[in-house]
Structure 1
Amino acid sequence: MDVCLSFLPGSDIPILACGGDDCNIHLYIQQNGQFQETLILYGHEDWIRGIEWAVCGKDIFLASCAQDCLIRIWRLQAKSTLSVEIKDDDSIKLKENTFTMKNKNTETTYAVILESVLAGHENWVYAVHWQPSFLKDGIIQQPMRLLSASMDKTMILWAPDEESGVWLEQVRVGEVGGNTLGFFDCQFSPNGSMILAHAFHGALHLWKQIPANKKEWTPEVVISGHFNSVEDIKWDPEGEFIITVGSDQTTRLFAPWKRKHQTEVTWHEIARPQVHGYDLHCLAMTGRFQFVSGADEKVLRVFTAPKNFVENFSNISGISVEKLCSNETIELPEGAAVPALGLSNKAIFQGDMTTQPADKEGIFNSVSNQYRQIYFQPLILTEPPTEDHLLQNTLWPEVQKLYGHGYEIFCVACNSSKTIVASACKASKKEHAAIILWSTSSWKQLQSLSFHNLTVTQMAFSPDDKFLLAVSRDRNWSLWKNQDKNPSLLEPVFNLFAYTDKNTAVHSRIIWSCDWTPDSKYFITGSRDKKVIIWGECGSAGATESNGLGVMEPCSSILDVGDSVTAVSISHVLAPDESYIIAVGLECGKINLYTWKQREQRPALTDWTKCVETDSSQSHTLAVKRLCWRNRVGRAGHNDQDNSEWLQLASCGTDHSVKILNVNRCTL
């Protein structure tokens, strides 16, 4: 399970320690160019998970940890053959494991002694690390301190007592609550003033020692992110933050933050609105602080930001609460928590957090009072929250569930006026591939749109809300027009306006992505066949309504990008020459930026212009899942909102990462 290499005390002979699933530690010494097993150390009663050497003076120490919840510290030292030890018969003698080594015509006997057994963790101990030596005033400091990480959600800092030499627990840090399974690994900073841990949910935890009180450690701000594929990403309507969903079953909210007295803007996770039991696939913003998400379940869930988030977002971003959402925060719940046996985020109001007294006999009035588990505690944050707070205090209350689909939800979209949500699920038959339209005011079904034969992979409303575009695994797209047939009902009716079929389809593989130009004149499709095409009413004399395309036709030449297209997005802002700025995400992880402008000659041969191809540092290492342009000029968190020079593009990928690219539109 783990190995560690060092040198025998006072020599240049390598010694290798191996801990495995036989519950023993095997020591190997290098002799004649080969490692030979020399000693076996017994004591652990379960698999050994971590092992590490440390040099201290003339001796070396070995720390080992195992699934038996214990840590053992062994001392390896050279025995002097001339010294004679005299001890009383009644004294306790630790068993020595000895071996002899020949080195340069000299023979040395080494002894391994069990120094201490540390019992403090309540679950498997996954890692142990010694504090590294460091220089102080020109002198090498060798503090004997050991850090351990366990699945009991704690890390313990151990050190020997100055008087007795007995190893004792000095500091214990860790998580409280949340849905995690503890720590996998830990590390000291070089000078030992900070400790870092890697948790089950992929998060990094950082604690810093307070100089005035060396036994007190405080959690620090650290970067965080998804620990599995990130499936979808959206900007909020005002472009101040982004929300992402992923296969790690979480919804995360990222926003820019500027430290005091510094000009650099960094992005941090400031909320985890949804921690789910299913892999999440898609989301759509239905308001400034409201979104709907879909997962590997048949239900859509709607979430609204609590009062505590709005206040903390105001503090971190520097935007006043009044500017964010007027007086609506008065009626908002404080936060949310998941009940002990529940699956939904339950809203928590001010009264829910007060402790209810027991009756006169000291017995709780009801079972619900007896098992009250309100983990949420409102916090006033002036900087991004630590992982503990993200796990416990940043959930958003769930306000609605939408039932209607027969299989796992795959994609969702919301129109510009935030009145209609369209959703689709995984499907292998036409009846399951129907798109369902929902009203955001009543959350009732408005209509079911049936056309495709396989899963609808992405949908997009036109910016003017007149059309709904859908692309599918069946290699076709469908365009639905808002008829507004019955204004008295105030409910739109969409009819099939245009579509492709086996006779008119241009794409020969799955169409993964689609988007609209900001003027609603054209839409774009990107496919696994490496093709990107722009469609629209180009006014061609050959267009007829008998072939399904109607007045729609390809308005661009077919762009072959050389790899499977997995995401496309068109900027809301035009390039200086009035051409459209288009981002194309590829299966290899690269993002290409193009400009496109319709030419008089159709099909135009020079209508596409390739501007940028991301390099290895900017690209994803696996497939790009989704691209999303910020819907206004400027960079979030900067004071350049009126600067029309910069645009921002957010991307997410299978490589677990979210990227935000700053694009200078004047250079395109």
Structure 2
Amino acid sequence: MAARFELSHAACGANRAGAGAVAWGRGGLVAFGSCRSVVLYDPQKRKVVGTLNGHTGRVNCVQWIYRNNGCQETELISGGSDKCLILWETRSGELVNNTRLEGHTEAVCALDVVSLANESSAESTLLVASAGSDSTVRIWSRHGMEVECLQTLQFGHGFVLDVSLSLLPGSDVPILACGGDDCRIHLYTQQDGQFQKQLVLRGHEDWIRGVEWAVCDGDLFLASCAQDCLIRIWKIHATSPPLLETGEDNAIGLKENIFTMKDNGGMDTSFAVTLDSVLAGHENWVYAVHWQPSFVTDDRREQPMRLLSASMDKTVILWAPDEESGVWLEQVRVGEVGGNTLGFFDCCFSPDGTMVLAHAFHGALHLWKQTSVNKREWTPEVVITGHFSSVQDVSWDPEGEFVITVGSDQTTRIFAPWKRGNQPEVTWHEVARPQIHGYDMQCLAMIGRFQFVSGADEKVLRVFTAPRNFMENFSSISGVSLEKLYFGQMIDLAEGATVPALGLSNKAVFQEDTAVQTTEEEENVNPSSQYCENYFQPRSLTEPPTEDHLLQNTLWPEVQKL
């Protein structure tokens, strides 16, 4: 009788890429690039439901494609370092490899898609813009099964870091925004099948990392972010043709950038572009901005405009205009606390706007959910984790209750099943990160139930033993009794572990080390307690830990060097 296998768990991290690396579809699936694959993750089921393999290089950007009035995604497009884009089409309820778009001579770093209605055909035309490291932006058209490259926009020795497509207000004319390393936003509109430059928007003082369009009340808004730590919101609306200035009007107002073009009927139409707001709240490079998806609530009211931004300052900020004054204000700020991290590359809203997903420098995905009681309070949720570089070795616990892995991302990770009381559903998650090293990990071996040896490029073998806090949390998460885990040896166990400054060895932390001195007299006796290096804080968990907790509070103490 042939053995039958089915996928129980897939652990993976997101690639280190900029805006567009993660996309949350309106059907509920999250798509992101992991190495050469596109991973489809279901946040409700908390598991990977599909993996798309077709790229031969790292996947840098993904985007869902909406048809049927934008209610449900039927296709996905991805771009990678293999210099091509791939359109994935739904067949029999599954996404499969359909079409490759080849033409770039270097890696594809950004893309966007817009669907155009076709009067002569029931099937709409797909317009794709892709930016590559070859200093070009290519415009692709797909109608039916026919795909062609309509145009190549040259940017000389500069690079376009993000692109965004939309339609001009009140028309079906596509407009393209390109943000690049020249600190400018280049606006193009399509005329007679070709994109022509209309305006250059100045204001940012460093590389522009992200641009995205949004439609609200008949006007078109463009959000842009840059390495100058600022976010700018631009507004485009139809206007009358510009008149000669008479000098009689001394009113003070924002400068309008006006361009005129012919619509499909041959009539001249003018559009004005003004700077609507400048948002200053981040303290480091802003890598991505994304608008909340527009949808209609149960009482038929459209959701108000909200903007999400991700930055290298380890924070994600949700912005919204004030209801009375219309001034854009910071509504919510979430992010990473502590740990050796470098901030966020990308972020996105859930389809209903009640959850926020962010992609961090170390490949980790962070998920926050809005509480039903306090709309301004967001709590972290369990989400997929995994290595963001190659996995070099894997080993089972001798009892088969957890898996331990090491990778080139310089980490050792433990994955175990999460058993939620009497619920039949069991999902696997990362429950500990025993070793965060300074060298690429290469091998490991279990030498006991809760003891392992790992080796890295430094040519030293290190022995680790599980601390008390891990045993207690592992028991509550996986449902294994503490008596079965301890075997009467819990007295000598350390509470946890921490890494000293400029050190590579995990130092054991015992219960007396975690006690905090409270009186001024005790601080005077031991002044060094004011600058304690102990970052470990014991936690009692009933569900898998978040990324912040994994980075600081799940280390295992090192007991020997070989």
Matching residue's letter, 1:307: R
Q: Give the 3 Å change call, closer, same or farther, for CA 259–246 of structure 1 in structure 2.
A: same
Aligned to 1:61: 221
Relative to 1, partners in 2 of residues 1:361 and 1:320: Cα closer, same or farther, differing over 3 Å?
A: closer
Decide whether aligned partners of structure 1 residues 123 and 363 sit closer, same or farther in structure 2, where only a CA change above 3 A counts: farther
Is the 8 Å Cα contact of residues 389 and 407 (structure 2) preserved in structure 1?
Answer: yes
**TM-score (norm. length: structure 1):** 0.58
1:375-400 CA deviation, whole Å, 9 max, x = no partner? 21111111111111111211111111
- For these two proteins, the number of residue pairs brought into alignment is 401
* Partner Cα separation in structure 2 for residue 364 and residue 162 of structure 1: 55
Deviations 1:459-490 (A, max 9, x none): xxxxxxxxxxxxxxxxxxxxxxxxxxxxxxxx
- Shift of the 89–364 alpha-carbon distance from structure 1 to 2, 3 Å rule, reads farther
Identify the residue that residue 128 of structure 1 maps to in structure 2.
Answer: 289
- Aligned counterparts of 1:319 and 1:184: Cα–Cα separation in 2: 38
Q: Secondary structure at the match of 2:376?
A: strand
Counterpart in 2 of 1:546? Answer: none
What do residues 602-653 of structure 1 show as CA deviations (whole Å, max 9, x unaligned)?
A: xxxxxxxxxxxxxxxxxxxxxxxxxxxxxxxxxxxxxxxxxxxxxxxxxxxx
Aligned to 1:311: 472
1:263 to 424, 444, 450: 424
Counterpart in the other structure of 2:254? 94
**More deviation, 116-125/82-91:** 82-91
**Alpha carbons 1:47, 1:67 under 8 Å: kept:** yes
Structure-1 residue corresponding to 2:461: 300
Structure 2 counterpart of 1:71: 231
Q: Deviations over 1:92-122 (max 9, x none)?
A: 4111111112211322211111111111111
Q: CA deviation at 1:79?
A: 1.2
- Deviations 1:507-539 (Å, cap 9, x if unpaired)? xxxxxxxxxxxxxxxxxxxxxxxxxxxxxxxxx
Residues 258 and 265 of structure 1 are in contact (CA less than 8 Å); yes or no, is this contact kept in structure 2? yes
Q: Please, which of 188, 194, 203 is the counterpart of residue 34 of structure 1?
A: 194
User: In the aligned structure 2, how far is the partner of 1:37 from the partner of 1:246?
Assistant: 47
Q: Structure 1 residues 253, 88: CA separation in 2 closer, same or farther (over 3 Å shift)?
A: farther
Contact 1:257 1:266 in 2 (8 A): yes
What secondary structure sits across from 1:164 in the alignment? coil
Q: Which moved more, 1:356-365 or 1:263-272?
A: 356-365
Gaps of 5+ in 2: 1-160
Aligned equivalent of 1:496: none
Alignment check: 8 A CA contact 2:410 2:441 kept = yes
Q: Which amino acid aligns with 2:188?
A: Y
Matched, 1:342 2:503: yes
Q: In structure 1, which of residues 167, 175, 198 is the aligned counterpart of residue 336 of structure 2?
A: 175
Show structure 1 runs of 4+ deviating over 6 A.
Answer: 82-90, 361-364
Partners of 2:522 and 2:558 in 1: CA distance: 37
SS in 2 for 1:11: coil
Q: Which residue of 1 aligns with 2:162?
A: 2
Q: Tell me the CA shift for residue 262 of structure 1.
A: 2.9
Q: Does the Cα contact within 8 Å between 2:242 and 2:258 map onto a contact in 1?
A: no
Quick one: distance in 2 between partners of 1:137 and 1:361?
Answer: 60
Structure 1 position 200 matched with structure 2 position 361: yes
Q: Does 1:355 align with 2:527?
A: no
Looking at structure 2, the residues matched to 147 and 82 of structure 1 have their Cα atoms a distance apart, in angstroms, of 34
Report the alpha carbon displacement of residue 354 of structure 1 after superposing the two structures with TM.
Answer: 2.3
1:332 Cα deviation after fit:
1.3
Question: Once the 2 structures are TM-superposed, how far is the Cα of residue 42 of structure 1 from its aligned partner?
Answer: 0.4
Q: Contact 1:229 / 1:247 at 8 angstroms: preserved in 2?
A: yes
Task: Judge conservation of contact 2:390–2:408 (CA < 8 Å) in 1.
Answer: yes
Q: 1:140 Cα shift?
A: 6.2
Asked if 1:389 corresponds to 2:389, the answer is no
- Report deviation, 1:91: 5.0
- The answer as to 2:240 corresponding to 1:107 is no
Maintained 8 Å contact 1:308/1:335? yes
Match of 1:186 among 339, 343, 347: 347
User: Which residue identity does 1:223 align to in structure 2?
Assistant: I
Q: Structure 1: which amino acid aligns with 2:548?
A: D
**Identical pairs, percent:** 75
Instruction: Give 1:373 deviation, angstroms.
Output: 2.7
Please state if 1:22 is matched with 2:185: no
Q: Does the CA-based 8 Å contact 1:133-1:140 persist in structure 2? A: no
Task: Give the match for residue 539 of structure 2.
Answer: 379
Cα gap change, 1:280/1:93 in structure 2, threshold over 3 Å: closer, same or farther?
same
CA–CA separation in structure 2 for the residues paired with 1:311 and 1:95 = 63
CA contact under 8 A between 2:354 and 2:370: conserved in structure 1?
yes
SS at match of 1:215: coil
CA distance in 2, matches of 1:162, 1:12: 31
> Displacement, 1:88?
10
Q: Deviations over 1:128-147 (max 9, x none)?
A: 00000113237362421000
Aligned residues of 2:212 and 2:291 also touching (Cα < 8 A): yes
SS state of the match for residue 375, structure 2? Answer: strand
Contact 1:358 1:364 in 2 (8 A): no
Tell me: higher relative CO, structure 1 or 2? Use CA pairs within 8 A at least 6 residues apart.
Answer: 2
Note the C-alpha offset of 1:219: 0.5
CA distance in structure 2 between the partners assigned to 1:76 and 1:58 by the alignment: 10
CA distance in 2, matches of 1:165, 1:85: 30
Structure 1: unaligned runs, 5 residues or longer: 403-668
Say whether the 8 Å CA contact 2:288–2:345 is kept in structure 1.
yes
**Structure 1 vs Structure 2 CA RMSD:** 2.3
User: 1:357, 1:91 → 2: CA distance?
Assistant: 62
| Aligned residue type for 1:53 | W
Question: For the structure 1 residues 140 and 36, does the alpha-carbon distance in structure 2 shift closer, same or farther, using more than 3 Å as the test?
Answer: farther
